[in-house]
């Protein structure tokens, strides 16, 4: 499904020997034979419509030759030669003054590559040419790469005249090169032209709807068909890929339009969509950034007042097209800027509201990616993300974002509910009308019409961008459309006041600069040698320079400011009187004559004589020089300051002492509101009122009243040299929980009433008095372990002690391994036990008249079941549950019967009654 195919071009047109252009296509489709048609021009009264009449020599018109031919299928092309009028019933063929009867052989020649060409005079007096393979006995002649060296075989039955009608005359059998595509042979006085052979191919179908274009080889003789790779964008949201996929995308920030997959040519094109915010908040155009080798070209717009103009930057420097530097060339018509890379045959067009990128298929086939898709004559992979995933173009377009950008998010517009109204898209149908009819076969208008209708019906945008973009694509195909007049002024383009709009102006406008014209007008490439719409100078005027919009009737001279000066015009420049000479158009200048200056006398203090240049002439004046004034040292009293005053009548300044508006005490200045340390027992402040006599601010003082009341634990003490004393701590203060306070003197001990366990003492550390709390804590007391009758209180009266009974009942902690039937625990487990002495007694009971025995056993009080795992010698494992003692206690039992007196009851200790 590629976009290139080789074709064989046939022609019915004579190729002059000086032509360097490719032959013009007349017939379509491949042919299988080569034909040669002879026309006699010396007595011609009627010739084929495509035959050139600019030569008087005999001409042979040929079509292309193929490398393979089949005589049985070779068609014969017959052109009626001019014949003389005869009165007999039988006609004759008249060729180069020689008459041939019907059926006679006119000539028989070979091209040296195995083909023979034979011409006969037919019964209708037409010359019929046949091409057939030569007999094998004919030795072939080696041919060159661009043309065929031929040899001639003169007929045996005819004389062999030379070709004397050509310059220089040629001998019979002589061959020569007419041009890069055609070799000529003199055969019996007849010039036979043999073209270069070209390969045939099938017709090519381009999926983008554009007709294929011819791309000629280096000889200019043979060509191949290629599909155009054109990516377009317009209206800020409409895009069409290289292979003709139309989609909408509208987001701010910069995105990759075209990027090489393998970076063979170092070409990258970026679109920069600025976020504009509200319509009146700023000017934010869509820009293109082209990176190629070491160049960075920025195509954008700028607004000055109400005027918008295209601007171009190359490596951050603004340039004014036309411009050519190294590998790039730029042209501009004011409306459209075109960037060309001639070595790659790349063209980028920019109009602010639209752009177009044209890449040659032969160089960029299947090697591009980005929002413009892949140039490969297939729409399947145009909507591809950077990771290779194929989705909708409107989805993948956002994934080509240039990273590391600060992209503000535009606010979401609130939905508006409007009643549906019929959409008027009449302006869009202009592209389907006769206005653009000439362009329809070259570029399909369908996508542009669809975008236009979308803008009009849904986006409320101007539809002009779609028409402008389509017209620009037509212009790139060499088709100029004058369409703006058909929009009833809606799409009218306003030019600067000095220029006029032209739909089909030159791509490069001539200027008054001869070197500029020679560089850019005389060296235009085939890509830029097309008309463009733009703003141009009116008829009979010429653009003065590309840096301005000035159009002049006559180029005249150039003034010092770079602006034009008309013949005979006079101006001043650099202290010279200059004139644009009307005859030579050369600027002629003479120095300006100045009068003799007057010299004044400078005798006032501070003035000196100065020689200055005003305009172009000298002038002497008396000017003030402060360095010449006498130095004055002003010493003002405290509260006063020196000020400098000047007047128009004097040069040197005058010094005066004036009050500063401050208070002064002991020769120290105090600002209004500041405290003045005037007395020990008074508070003095500098006021803002002035004393009329001293011109200094008044000091206002008030007596100080000392507060001698001190808080608990503090005493008031006077401070020598100060008006008031201060409260000094003399004892400790303890804050009680009931919010009462108690004062403790140094080294004194105090306990709160009812709480003998707490004592407070007062310690002095430096200047601080710190209360120290001492709390007595009684040891733990358990009456169960006391020997009966030994309980008592200690010396403090609130802590209890006793004589403890030894060997009480308590739990013993041991660990051991459990072994059952040879199976044992892997690790020792905890096996607790109870041990100790419980209260056992015997006493007489008067009531029972017998001895009463009380027996108590130390045994487990609470237990639990625990489970362990036993390892057996054979490697098996078994589970085993055992009783685990949690706590111990004394259990009352019957001493006589040995049974429990009160089953289920235990006690920690039974005290004797």
Q: How do residues 367-406 score in pLDDT, each as one tens digit?
A: 999 999 999 999 888 899 999 889 999 899 989 998 887 7
Query: Distance (Å, rounded) from C-alpha 344 to C-alpha 844?
Result: 133
Average pLDDT for 125-138: 69
Residue 274 has pLDDT above 80, yes or no: no
Residue 55 has pLDDT above 60, yes or no: no
Average pLDDT for 125-153: 52
The pLDDT, as a whole number, for residue 112 is: 58
The pLDDT, as a whole number, for residue 562 is: 65
CA torsion, points 663, 665, 668, 669, in degrees to nearest 10?
0
Domain boundaries, the chain: 1-227, 229-400, 425-493, 494-542, 557-591, 810-893
Burial class of 845 by CB neighbour count within 10 A (0 to 12, 13 to 18, 19+): exposed
Q: Which DSSP letter does residue 104 get?
A: -
Query: Distance (Å, rounded) from C-alpha 108 to C-alpha 192?
Result: 11
Q: Do 155 and 108 contact (CB within 8 A), yes or no?
A: yes
Average pLDDT for 719-737: 86
The pLDDT, as a whole number, for residue 50 is: 31
Which range, of 765-779, 785-799, 835-849, averages the lowest pLDDT? 785-799
Please indicate whether residue 278 or residue 320 has the higher confidence score (pLDDT).
Answer: 320
Please indicate whether residue 139 or residue 288 has the higher confidence score (pLDDT).
Answer: 288
Query: Distance (Å, rounded) from C-alpha 216 to C-alpha 22?
Result: 8
Query: Distance (Å, rounded) from C-alpha 478 to C-alpha 206?
Result: 19
Q: Interhelix angle for 446-454 vs 464-476, to 10°?
A: 160
* Confidence category of residue 140, pLDDT binned at 50, 70, 90: very low
The pLDDT, as a whole number, for residue 288 is: 92
Q: Among the ranges 54-68, 130-144, 189-203, 385-399, which has the highest mean pLDDT value?
A: 385-399
**CATH number assigned to the domain with residue range 810-893, chosen from the 4 options 2.30.110.10, 2.70.98.30, 3.40.50.620, 2.10.90.10:** 2.10.90.10
Check the CA dihedral 378-381-382-386 and report its sign: negative
Percent of the chain with pLDDT over 70: 78
For residue 272, list its beta bridge partners. Answer: 254, 287
Average pLDDT for 573-582: 80
Instruction: Compute CA distances 219 → 3, 20, 32, 66, 367, whole Å.
Output: 22, 9, 22, 17, 27
Please indicate whether residue 393 or residue 476 has the higher confidence score (pLDDT).
Answer: 393
- Condensed to tens digits (0 to 9), the pLDDT of residues 311-323 reads 999 999 998 888 8
The pLDDT, as a whole number, for residue 704 is: 84
- Condensed to tens digits (0 to 9), the pLDDT of residues 608-624 reads 999 888 878 889 899 88
Please indicate whether residue 94 or residue 339 has the higher confidence score (pLDDT).
Answer: 339
- Tell me the average pLDDT of the chain: 77
Residue 236 phi, psi dihedral angles, 5° rounding? 80, -10
CA 418-419-423 angle, 5° bins: 100
Query: Distance (Å, rounded) from C-alpha 126 to C-alpha 82?
Result: 9
The pLDDT, as a whole number, for residue 35 is: 33
Task: Assign 237 to helix, strand or coil.
Answer: coil
> What are the counts of helices (DSSP H) followed by strands (DSSP E) for the chain?
5, 63
Residue 241 has pLDDT above 50, yes or no: yes
Query: Distance (Å, rounded) from C-alpha 686 to C-alpha 676?
Result: 7
The pLDDT, as a whole number, for residue 773 is: 84
CA 729-734-735 angle, 5° bins: 120
* β pairing state of 792-793 and 246-248: unpaired
* Confidence category of residue 571, pLDDT binned at 50, 70, 90: confident
The pLDDT, as a whole number, for residue 688 is: 92
Percent of the chain with pLDDT over 90: 14
Length of the chain: 913
Q: Which DSSP letter does residue 705 get?
A: P
Please indicate whether residue 573 or residue 22 has the higher confidence score (pLDDT).
Answer: 573
| Tokens of residue 38, six digits | 């002879």
Query: Distance (Å, rounded) from C-alpha 255 to C-alpha 386?
Result: 12
For residue 793, list its beta bridge partners. Answer: 800
Q: Do 643 and 656 contact (CB within 8 A), yes or no?
A: yes
Average pLDDT for 245-252: 88
Average pLDDT for 465-493: 86
Please indicate whether residue 195 or residue 355 has the higher confidence score (pLDDT).
Answer: 355
Instruction: Compute CA distances 634 → 203, 631, 666, 667, 807, whole Å.
Output: 105, 10, 22, 18, 108
The pLDDT, as a whole number, for residue 23 is: 34
For residue 703, list its beta bridge partners. Answer: 682
Q: Which DSSP letter does residue 421 get?
A: -
The pLDDT, as a whole number, for residue 276 is: 57
Please indicate whether residue 445 or residue 807 has the higher confidence score (pLDDT).
Answer: 445
Instruction: Compute CA distances 449 → 206, 429, 464, 494, whole Å.
Output: 20, 7, 11, 24
| pTM score, whole prediction | 0.47
The pLDDT, as a whole number, for residue 670 is: 93
* Confidence category of residue 707, pLDDT binned at 50, 70, 90: confident
Q: Do 835 and 812 contact (CB within 8 A), yes or no?
A: yes
Q: Where are the beta strands (DSSP E) in 246-294?
A: 246-248, 253-260, 267-273, 286-292
The pLDDT, as a whole number, for residue 242 is: 92
The pLDDT, as a whole number, for residue 627 is: 87
Taking Cα atoms as reference points, which of 386, 2, 468 lies closest to residue 229? Answer: 2
Residue 730 has pLDDT above 50, yes or no: yes
Q: Among the ranges 38-52, 102-116, 342-356, 556-570, which has the highest mean pLDDT value?
A: 342-356
Please indicate whether residue 214 or residue 12 has the higher confidence score (pLDDT).
Answer: 214
Q: Which DSSP letter does residue 334 get?
A: S
Distance between start and end Cα atoms, the chain: 119
115: left (phi over 0), alpha (psi -120 to 50) or beta: beta
Taking Cα atoms as reference points, which of 212, 216, 150 lies closest to residue 184? Answer: 150
Average pLDDT for 692-712: 89
Residue 78 has pLDDT above 80, yes or no: no
Check the CA dihedral 15-19-24-29 and report its sign: positive
Measured in whole angstroms, how far is the alpha carbon of residue 440 from the centre of its chain?
Answer: 36
The pLDDT, as a whole number, for residue 669 is: 92
Residue 477 has pLDDT above 80, yes or no: yes
Q: Among the ranges 182-191, 584-593, 685-694, 713-722, which has the highest mean pLDDT value?
A: 685-694
Query: Distance (Å, rounded) from C-alpha 308 to C-alpha 352?
Result: 9
The pLDDT, as a whole number, for residue 526 is: 53
* Confidence category of residue 34, pLDDT binned at 50, 70, 90: very low
Please indicate whether residue 78 or residue 712 has the higher confidence score (pLDDT).
Answer: 712
Taking Cα atoms as reference points, which of 858, 856, 854, 859 lies closest to residue 913? Answer: 854
The pLDDT, as a whole number, for residue 698 is: 93
Measured in whole angstroms, how far is the alpha carbon of residue 554 from the centre of its chain?
Answer: 46
The pLDDT, as a whole number, for residue 528 is: 53
The pLDDT, as a whole number, for residue 263 is: 85
CA 514-517-519 angle, 5° bins: 110
- Condensed to tens digits (0 to 9), the pLDDT of residues 165-217 reads 888 888 888 888 888 788 888 888 888 888 888 888 778 899 988 888 888 88
Question: Around 680, how many Cα atoms within 13 Å sit in the side-chain half-sphere?
Answer: 7
Q: Which DSSP letter does residue 471 get?
A: H
Which range, of 330-339, 512-521, 823-832, averages the lowest pLDDT? 512-521
For residue 536, list its beta bridge partners. Answer: 500
| Tokens of residue 40, six digits | 């006699």
| Tokens of residue 816, six digits | 């051991």
Query: Distance (Å, rounded) from C-alpha 215 to C-alpha 195?
Result: 18
**Cis amide linkage into residue 256, ω under 30° from 0:** no
Average pLDDT for 52-58: 32
* Confidence category of residue 80, pLDDT binned at 50, 70, 90: very low
The pLDDT, as a whole number, for residue 658 is: 92
Which range, of 58-72, 320-334, 701-715, averages the lowest pLDDT? 58-72
Q: What radius of gyration, in Å, describes the C-alpha atoms of the chain? A: 59
User: Each residue of 320-347: b (16+ CB within 10 Å) or e?
Assistant: ebbbeeeebbbbbbbbbbbbbbeebbbb
Taking Cα atoms as reference points, which of 367, 628, 354 lies closest to residue 472? Answer: 354
Q: Where are the beta strands (DSSP E) in 524-646?
A: 532-536, 542-543, 551-552, 557-558, 564-565, 570-573, 576-580, 587-591, 607-614, 617-624, 640-645
């Amino acid at each position: 499904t590629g976009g290139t195919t080789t074709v064989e071009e046939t022609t019915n047109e004579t190729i002059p020997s000086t032509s360097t252009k490719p032959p013009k296509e007349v017939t379509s489709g491949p042919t299988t034979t080569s034909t040669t048609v002879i026309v006699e021009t010396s007595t011609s009264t009627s010739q084929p419509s495509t035959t050139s009449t600019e030569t008087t020599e005999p001409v042979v018109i040929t079509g292309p030759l193929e490398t393979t031919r089949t005589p049985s299928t070779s068609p014969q092309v017959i052109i009626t030669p001019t014949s003389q009028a005869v009165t007999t019933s039988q006609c004759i063929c008249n060729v180069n003054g020689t008459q041939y009867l019907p059926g006679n052989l006119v000539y028989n020649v070979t091209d040296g590559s195995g083909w023979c060409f034979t011409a006969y005079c037919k019964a209708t007096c037409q010359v019929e040419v046949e091409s057939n393979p030569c007999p094998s006995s004919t030795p072939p002649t080696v041919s060159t790469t661009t043309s065929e060296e031929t040899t001639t075989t003169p007929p045996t039955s005819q004389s062999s005249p030379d070709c004397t009608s050509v310059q220089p005359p040629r001998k019979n059998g002589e061959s020569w090169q007419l041009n890069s595509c055609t070799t000529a042979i003199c055969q019996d006085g007849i010039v036979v032209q043999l073209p270069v052979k070209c390969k045939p191919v099938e017709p090519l179908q381009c999926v983008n709807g554009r007709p294929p274009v011819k791309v000629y080889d280096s000889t200019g003789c043979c060509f191949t068909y290629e599909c155009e790779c054109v990516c377009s964008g317009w209206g800020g949201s409409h895009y069409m890929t290289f292979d003709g996929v139309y989609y909408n995308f509208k987001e701010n920030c910069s995105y990759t339009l075209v990027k090489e997959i393998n970076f063979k040519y170092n070409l990258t094109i970026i679109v920069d969509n600025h976020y504009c915010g509200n319509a009146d908040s700023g000017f934010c155009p869509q820009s293109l950034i082209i990176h190629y080798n070491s160049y960075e070209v920025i195509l954008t717009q700028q607004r000055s007042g109400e005027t918008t103009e295209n601007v171009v930057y190359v490596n951050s420097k603004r340039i004014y097209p036309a411009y050519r530097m190294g590998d790039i060339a730029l042209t501009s018509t004011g409306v459209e800027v075109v960037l060309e890379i001639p070595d790659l045959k790349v063209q980028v067009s920019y109009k602010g509201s639209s752009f177009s990128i044209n890449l040659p298929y032969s160089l960029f086939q299947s090697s591009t990616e980005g929002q413009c898709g892949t140039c490969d004559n297939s729409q399947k992979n145009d909507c591809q993300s950077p990771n290779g995933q194929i989705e909708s173009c409107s989805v993948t377009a956002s994934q080509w974002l240039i990273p590391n950008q600060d992209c503000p998010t535009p606010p979401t517009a609130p939905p508006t509910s409007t009643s549906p109204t019929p959409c008027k898209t009449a302006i869009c149908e202009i592209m389907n009308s006769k206005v653009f009819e000439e362009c329809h076969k070259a570029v399909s208008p369908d996508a542009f019409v669809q975008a236009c209708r979308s803008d009009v019906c849904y986006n409320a945008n101007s539809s002009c961008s779609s028409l402008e973009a389509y017209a620009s694509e037509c212009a790139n195909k060499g088709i100029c459309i004058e369409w703006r007049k058909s929009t009833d002024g809606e799409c009218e383009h306003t030019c600067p006041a000095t220029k006029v709009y032209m739909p089909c102006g030159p791509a490069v406008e001539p200027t008054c600069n001869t070197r500029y014209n020679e560089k850019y007008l005389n060296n235009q490439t085939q890509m830029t040698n097309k008309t463009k719409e733009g703003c141009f100078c009116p008829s009979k005027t010429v653009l003065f320079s590309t840096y301005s919009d000035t159009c002049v009737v006559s180029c005249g001279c150039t003034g010092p400011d770079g602006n034009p000066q008309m013949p005979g015009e006079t101006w001043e420049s650099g202290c010279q009187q200059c004139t644009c000479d009307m005859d030579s158009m050369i600027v002629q200048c003479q120095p300006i004559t100045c009068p003799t200056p007057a010299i004044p006398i400078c005798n006032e203090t501070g003035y000196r004589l100065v020689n200055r240049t005003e305009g172009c002439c000298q002038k002497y004046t008396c000017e003030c020089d402060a360095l010449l004034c006498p130095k004055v040292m002003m010493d003002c009293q405290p509260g006063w300051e020196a000020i400098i005053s000047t007047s128009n009548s004097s040069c040197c300044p005058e010094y005066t002492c004036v009050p500063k508006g401050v208070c002064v005490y002991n020769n120290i200045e105090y600002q209004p509101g500041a405290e003045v340390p005037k007395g020990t027992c008074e508070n003095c402040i500098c006021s803002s009122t002035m004393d009329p006599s001293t011109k200094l601010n008044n000091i206002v003082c008030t007596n100080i009243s000392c507060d001698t009341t001190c808080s608990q634990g503090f005493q008031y003490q006077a401070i020598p040299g100060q008006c008031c004393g201060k409260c000094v701590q003399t004892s400790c203060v303890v804050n009680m929980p009931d919010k009462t306070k108690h004062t403790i003197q140094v080294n004194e001990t105090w306990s709160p009433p009812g709480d003998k366990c707490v004592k407070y003492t007062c310690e002095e550390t430096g200047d601080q008095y710190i209360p120290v709390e001492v709390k007595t804590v009684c040891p733990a007391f358990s009456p169960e372990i006391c020997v009966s009758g030994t309980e008592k209180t200690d010396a403090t009266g609130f802590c209890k002690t006793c004589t403890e009974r030894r060997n009480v009942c308590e739990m013993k902690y041991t660990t051991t391994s459990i072994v059952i039937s040879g199976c044992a625990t892997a690790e020792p487990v905890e096996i607790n036990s109870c041990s100790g002495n419980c209260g056992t007694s015997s006493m007489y009971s008067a009531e029972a008249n017998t001895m009463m025995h009380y027996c108590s056993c130390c045994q487990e009080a609470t237990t639990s079941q625990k489970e362990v795992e036993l390892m057996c010698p054979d490697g098996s494992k078994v589970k085993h549950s055992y009783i685990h003692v949690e706590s111990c206690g004394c259990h009352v039992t019957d001493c006589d019967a040995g049974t429990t007196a009160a089953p289920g009851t235990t006690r920690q200790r039974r005290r004797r009654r």
